Structure 1
Amino acid sequence: MTATTGPDSPLTAEQLSATTLLRFATAGSVDDGKSTLVGRLLHDSKSVLTDQLEAVERASLGRGQDAPDLALLTDGLRAEREQGITIDVAYRYFATARRRFILADTPGHVEYTRNMVTGASTAELAVVLVDARNGVIEQTRRHAAVAALLRVPHVVLAVNKMDLVDYAEPVFAAIAEEFTSYAASLGVPEITAIPISALAGDNVVEPSAHMDWYGGPTVLEHLETVPVSHDLTGCPARFPVQYVIRPQTAEHPDYRGYAGQIVSGLLRVGDEVTVLPSGRTTTISGLDALGQAVDTAWAPQSVTVLLTDDVDVSRGDMIAPTATAPALTQDIRATVCHLHERPLRVGERVLLKHTTRTVKAIVKELPYRIDLSAGLAHENAPAEFAANDIGAVVLRTAEPLPVDAYADSRLTGSFLLIDPADGTTLTAGMAGEPFAAHKEHLDQAADSAAEDEGWDF
């Protein structure tokens, strides 16, 4: 069996399984050429099937274009094709002999900032495009801030349309210096700047013959070689319970197992663990993985955990080693991006979904909103958060939760706020305030939330 990534480059299943996986997101302002870059990357790496390319050629001819518009490889929605812009997050899957990729192509418009948050939330690398003629603009700073907020460990600055500035090195150097300085001030740990022309293919997959002054990697070469660590075993173990298994058969009359995915760390038979939020302690008597008993299991394996004592455990509980168990809290201070058109206000009653547990919560405070267009300026105590707004929120939950800081764990430090009436996702949250050092002193006057039976906690 072969997995074909392009007409000339079939990869066997064995080759695919041997390669590492990189999740990355792209972002750029309107008309910076982001979709063209993605299309060029897919085309030149032979990751486009023949029928896909033929469809793009037909669509391009229908729009009066002489050459295939590679941006159409990613702009899949009709509205996107008609307007020539990216609206929704488009996911693409491709592979080379060195690595497999999951690409999230995110919109560039300010009103679609929430879409970039969605696309970059699981990314290990973000490619931020800049038009060489315009340099670093407000939307560029916004994208850098979102990457920093989401703790994306690697950022690539792709200075596009170098062909329109005569491939001038000083133009690239000035843009790279400005962006690197800004992103580093936000805490982005690694920034790589690459001069490219997505339309002409310079430094996307093949090195450019027009920029001999540049000695760094092409975009694809960097994507293939950037260090990516999926080793979560060094982090404290966290095991959110998804399902309780009780077959109650003659063969297994007393079997009780707790199934789920280890999101970080490792578990061993004999470990002393604590079940949260009850706080009961016990030891791991067994681990089942793929139907086989094992002595050790680690993230991100899906396993069934057996416990020595008959402890009350249900879906939504978390099992963690007693020595490194997270603290429980009902008061959560977090940075959020509001996703819904309906505003978020103080006193709002919501459901908070954290790992496999969903509890009632009330919005107690909106301490400030971040103005990404003004260098992380803070607007204290806004009346509400509208769609795409990013800011701080204080929540009070009906039940205690084992929430880690997002800086420590992107999985157990994140949550969603949900409308209890219809199940609509309202807000994405990250426990902690990564930009707290940038804000001015805030008055911490508490706003009283509306009291209602079942919600007064």
Structure 2
Amino acid sequence: MARDLVRLITCGSVDDGKSTLIGRLLHDAGAVPDDQLDAIRTASGEPDFSRLFDGLDAEREQGITIDVAYRHFETAGRRFMLADTPGHPQYTRNMVTAASTADVAVVLVDARKGLLPQTRRHSYLVGLMGVRRVLLAVNKMDLIGWSQAVFDEIAADYRALAGDLGLTEVAAIPVSGLGGDNVATRSTAMPWYDGPTLLQWLESIDLAEADPGPFRMPVQWVNRPDADFRGYAGRIAAGTVRPGDPVRVLPSGRTTAIDRIVTMDGDLAEGGPGQSITLTLADHLDVSRGDVLAAADDPPGVADQFEIDLVWMADAPLLPGRAYVVRLGAATVTGQVTDIRHRVNVETLEPLAARTLELNDIGVCHLHLDAPLTFEPYAANRDLGGLILIDRQTNETVGAGLIRFALRRSANVQWQALDVGRAERASLKHQRPLVLWFTGLSGAGKSTIANLVDKRLFADGRHTFLLDGDNVRHGLNNDLGFTDADRVENIRRVTEVARLMADAGLIVLVSAISPFAAERRMARERMAAGEFVEIFVDAPLDVVEARDVKGLYRKARAGQLTNFTGIDSPYERPEKPDIHIDAAALTPEQACERIIEAIRDRL
């Protein structure tokens, strides 16, 4: 019977010989059919092992971020799932995906070149993603005359690097992928090496954890076909569980006991790490997909603010303050990166100041969620410590986050109950709270129209306040510039002020370019249902340039003003605004009348 499945990732720099080594490993392990071998023979009749790996059928699995192709093979003693990582830096996201589920990493080094920047990058990512068992394969030993001195120097350099990265289990083997030396059979060319071959090392790895830790099982599915059977399905992430064990449901914190451990093959007396099971509970509790069942006396934490390592995987940069979908296991909430502590130079491990993260950047960030999640640090539990960020507009995965710890303010800063609420404050003013959000290009007439609407409402006895974008930048936001990241933060702050004013029972008018659809959507969601009105003051670029009351477009065209919306910074037009004002066809007074008429029933 085959032993445990080993998830294996190979990585290294370009031209280190990974494809040849992997092909030779598969061949020498007996995992290659004869017809596959015949298909890669060269004119001389010798097989080109570098073509073998690409020629095998791939299996696809969902990793922490994107799909990755794996190759499955077996030896007499073990089953393997092998993922090869491209050596180019632009494929960092593939590396992260493969490493997120890997048990072992084989890091390849060309004996002629030693450690390269990509070696350091991949090793950093291996350590970051929680892979602790690393094999350094010093390849192409035949091209340096099988030199033990060169091998020993490279191995020593790598062990020093591994120590800095927290890689605790490192072995080094001198190999030649081309000739198969020390791949599956011991090399006669290197009698000075008396350790295992690469395949022997892989087959001898002990994957068992010394301490499986306390029980944790994220709930993936709630099975409620009838009143007599209510099961909670998932894969055990840590620990063991038995019928009768007390468990805690998180994040609610309620406790109960395990009734049954149900599988397709019948009930179990015990479940362990990695098993997919269905649990029934002694009590009928409200348990949902995304909740976690855990040992009652040693539960994981619950928090809504974290410090994380974040690997950015999108072409568009990370913008602090922008709302993203955050998914941890089966739990999904909305969250924002509030602060980038630093970006990491993965070749030198040096922390660098950063306002944003670009494609393949890795940074240490603070993440704030709209609702608490059950978690453990990624170093202790991959299942409860690894999360992804998803773009709300495109639904694409844009980042992989690894939880370091919960921020103290997550537990220390709590909502204070107030006796006088927004309903009472609005009632005192004899009106309903409302946020009128004017968006459009600079010079479209937003402020002029908003000012007219404000005057009309005030004359009617309404309690209002106008937050004008330029005015806010003189005080609250005077520390912000006009980069995309600063624009996102500008609107986030304005949104929070508008929300507080609405809570005070006011009718709030916001006049701000607010160029990005994501932030306008965030502003709507921060308000109470039905209390946000998006007003698109629509004027074509040529019209606003012709007006150019402040001379800003002229400066932007002359290169004297950078990051100017409509010129070298984008404006994302609202697709379905609540009120659309054709500012080229209507006078400000006409626009005001149309808005007053449209909101009359909401006041």
Q: 1:224 aligns with which of 203, 209, 215?
A: 203
- The answer to whether structure 1 residue 378 and structure 2 residue 351 are counterparts is yes
Pick the aligned partner of 1:454 from 522, 525, 546: 525
- Is 2:148 the partner of 1:184? no
3-state SS of paired residue (2:152)? helix
Question: 1:51 maps to which residue?
Answer: 35
Q: In structure 1, the residue corresponding to 2:306 is in which secondary structure?
A: strand
Indicate if the aligned counterparts of 1:273 and 1:282 stay in contact, CA closer than 8 A.
Answer: yes
The 5 Å alignment of 1:59-138 reads: 60-61=42-43, 67-75=46-54, 90-138=69-117
Partner secondary structure for residue 68 of structure 1: coil
In the TM superposition, residue 137 of structure 1 has moved relative to its aligned partner by 1.5
Alignment map for 1:141-160 (pairs within 5 Å):
141-160=120-139
Whether contact under 8 Å (2:291, 2:374) holds in the other structure is no
Contact 1:233 1:298 in 2 (8 A): no
**Equivalent residues of 1:76, 1:90 under 8 A apart:** no
Number of residue-to-residue matches in the alignment? 406
1:23 matched residue in structure 2: 7
Residue in structure 2 matched with residue 360 of structure 1 by the alignment: 334
1:390 equivalent in alignment to 2:362:
yes
Shift of 1:50: 2.0
Query: For residue 416 of structure 2, what is the aligned residue in structure 1?
Result: none
Match of 2:185 in 1: 206
Contact 2:390/2:398, CA 8 A, preserved across alignment: yes
Out of 236, 245, 248, the position equivalent to 1:271 is 245
Out of 396, 400, 412, the residue aligned to residue 424 of structure 1 is: 396
Deviation, structure 1 residue 271? 2.2
Q: Deviations over 1:113-141 (max 9, x none)?
A: 22111111111111111111111111111
DSSP-derived class of the 1:334 partner: strand
| Structure 1 counterpart of 2:23 | 39
Residues 1:294 and 1:172: Cα distance change in structure 2 (over 3 Å) = closer
Q: Shift of residue 232 of structure 1? A: 8.5
- 1:399 is matched with which residue? 371
Other-structure match for 2:262: 288
Q: Which residue of 2 aligns with 1:171?
A: 150
Aligned to 1:318: 292
Aligned mates of 1:133, 1:234 — CA distance in 2: 42
Query: Could you say what secondary structure the match of 1:324 adopts?
Result: coil
Contact 1:345–1:366 under 8 Å retained in 2: no
Cα–Cα, structure 1 residues 331 and 232, in superposed 2: closer, same or farther, change >3 Å? Answer: farther
Matching of residue 240 in structure 1 with residue 218 in structure 2: yes
Aligned residue among 228, 231, 234 for 1:260 = 234
Q: Detail structure 1 runs of 4+ shifted over 6 Å in the superposition.
A: none
TM-score by length of 2: 0.64
Question: Structure 2 CA distance, aligned partners of 1:350 and 1:286?
Answer: 38
TM-score when scaled to structure 1?
Answer: 0.84
Is the Cα–Cα contact under 8 Å of residues 350 and 362 in structure 1 kept in the other structure?
yes
Which protein has the larger Cα radius of gyration, Structure 1 or Structure 2? 2
- Spell out, residue by residue over 1:156-201, the C-alpha distance to the aligned partner (whole angstroms, 9 max, x if none): 1111111111111111111111111111121100111111111111
What SS does the corresponding residue of 1:193 show, helix, strand or coil? strand
Shift of residue 355, structure 1, vs aligned partner: 1.1
Letter in 1 for 2:73: F
Residue identity (%): 44
What amino acid does structure 2 have at the position aligned with 1:75?
A: D
2:368 is aligned with what amino acid?
Answer: R
Aligned letter for 2:26? L
Distance 2:69 2:296 in 1: 41
1:297 corresponds, among 271, 274, 298, to 271
**2:237–2:381 CA contact under 8 A, matched in 1:** no
Deviations 1:227-285 (A, max 9, x none): 222x597212111112222222xxxx432222222221122222222211222222222
Compared with structure 1, are the counterparts of its residues 89 and 35 closer, same or farther at alpha carbon in structure 2 (3 Å cutoff)?
farther
| Amino acid of the structure 2 residue aligned with 1:45 | A
Q: 1:74 to 1:455 in 2, by over 3 A?
A: farther
- Greater relative contact order (CA < 8 Å, ≥ 6 in sequence): 1
Counterpart residue identity of residue 131, structure 2: V
Alignment deviations for residues 267-316 of structure 1 (CA, whole Å, 9 cap, x no partner): 22222222112222222223222263334322222222222222111111
Question: Which string of whole-angstrom CA distances, capped at 9 and with x for unpartnered residues, describes residues 369-407 of structure 1?
Answer: 10012x200112x12212211111211111100110011
Structure 1 unaligned segments of length 5 or more: list them: 1-14, 78-87, 434-446
Aligned partner of residue 256 in structure 1, secondary structure: strand
Over aligned residues, Cα RMSD in angstroms? 2.1
Could you say if the C-alpha distance between residues 201 and 377 of structure 1 is closer, same or farther in structure 2, counting changes exceeding 3 Å? same
Gaps of 5+ in 2: 57-66, 406-485, 496-522, 529-603
Amino acid at match of 2:191: D
Query: Secondary structure of the residue that 2:315 maps to in structure 1?
Result: coil
Q: 1:456 to 1:279 in 2, by over 3 A?
A: farther
Structure 2 vs 1, CA of residues 336 and 76 (structure 1 numbering), >3 Å: closer, same or farther?
farther
Alpha carbons 1:275, 1:320 under 8 Å: kept: yes
The answer to whether structure 1 residue 414 and structure 2 residue 382 are counterparts is: no
CA distance in structure 2 between the partners assigned to 1:93 and 1:398 by the alignment: 40
